[in-house]
A = this chain, B = another copy of it.
Amino acid sequence: MVIAIDATGGEYAPHEIVKGAIKAAQEHKVEIALVGRRDILYVLAGRHLGKLGMTIIDASQAIGPNESPLEAIHSKPNSSIVVGINLVRDDMASAFVSAGNSGAVFAAALLNLGKIKGIPRPAIGSLINITPDTPIFLIDAGANVDCRPEHLAWFANLGNLYVSQVLGISSPRIGLLSNGEEESKGNKLIKETYKLLKSSPLNFIGNIEGQDILKRVAEVIVTDGFTGNIVLKTIEGVSDNWLHSLSQTGQVFAKAYRLPLRALHRDIGMGSWTQRLDYREYGGACLLGVNGNVIIAHGRSQSKAIKNAIGLAKQTVERGICQRIKEEKL
Which residues on B sit within 8 Å (CB–CB) of A230? 177-179, 209-210, 227, 231
A240: contacting residue among B211, B227, B229, B232, CB under 8 A: B211
With A227-B227, A277-B245 known as contacts, the answer to whether A179 contacts B252 (CB < 8 A) is no
With A177-B230, A230-B210, A234-B210 known as contacts, the answer to whether A241 contacts B186 (CB < 8 A) is no
Residue A330 at the B interface, CB < 8 A? no
A82 and B12 alpha carbons, distance in the complex (Å)? 57
A224 and B180 alpha carbons, distance in the complex (Å)? 15
A179 lies within 8 A of B142 (CB): yes
In the complex, chain A residues 211-241 whose Cβ is within 8 Å of any chain B Cβ: 211-215, 224-227, 229-241
Nearest residue in B to A226 (C-beta to C-beta)?
B187
With A211-B233, A242-B239 known as contacts, the answer to whether A226 contacts B179 (CB < 8 A) is yes
Residue A146 at the B interface, CB < 8 A? yes
A179 lies within 8 A of B145 (CB): yes
A256: contacting residue among B130, B234, B255, B268, CB under 8 A: B268
Which residues on B sit within 8 Å (CB–CB) of A236? 210-211
Given contacts A210-B230, A242-B245, 20 further A-B contacts (CB under 8 A): A145-B179, A178-B230, A179-B229, A187-B224, A187-B226, A190-B226, A209-B230, A209-B233, A210-B229, A234-B238, A239-B242, A242-B246, A242-B277, A245-B277, A246-B246, A249-B270, A252-B273, A253-B253, A257-B257, A257-B267
Shortest 9 CB-CB contacts between residues of A and residues of B: A210-B233, A211-B237, A242-B242, A210-B234, A179-B229, A256-B268, A145-B187, A238-B238, A211-B233
Nearest residue in B to A234 (C-beta to C-beta)?
B210
Contacts A/B (CB < 8 Å), 23 sampled:
A145-B186, A145-B187, A146-B187, A178-B226, A178-B230, A179-B230, A210-B230, A210-B231, A211-B233, A211-B236, A214-B237, A226-B227, A227-B227, A230-B231, A231-B231, A238-B242, A245-B277, A246-B246, A249-B249, A249-B250, A253-B264, A255-B268, A257-B267
Residue A188 at the B interface, CB < 8 A? yes
Distance in Å: Cβ of A64 to nearest Cβ of chain B: 14
Which residues on B sit within 8 Å (CB–CB) of A226? 178-179, 186-187, 190, 227
A225 and B210 alpha carbons, distance in the complex (Å)? 13
Nearest residue in B to A238 (C-beta to C-beta)?
B238
A187 and B225 alpha carbons, distance in the complex (Å)? 9
A211: contacting residue among B180, B190, B234, B249, CB under 8 A: B234
A236 and B212 alpha carbons, distance in the complex (Å)? 10
A268 and B268 alpha carbons, distance in the complex (Å)? 18
A252 and B245 alpha carbons, distance in the complex (Å)? 16
Which residues on B sit within 8 Å (CB–CB) of A188? 146
A273 and B253 alpha carbons, distance in the complex (Å)? 11
Which residues on B sit within 8 Å (CB–CB) of A268? 252-253, 255-256
Distance in Å: Cβ of A230 to nearest Cβ of chain B: 4
Distance in Å: Cβ of A256 to nearest Cβ of chain B: 4
Q: Which of A142, A230, A264: most chain B Cβ within 10 A?
A: A230
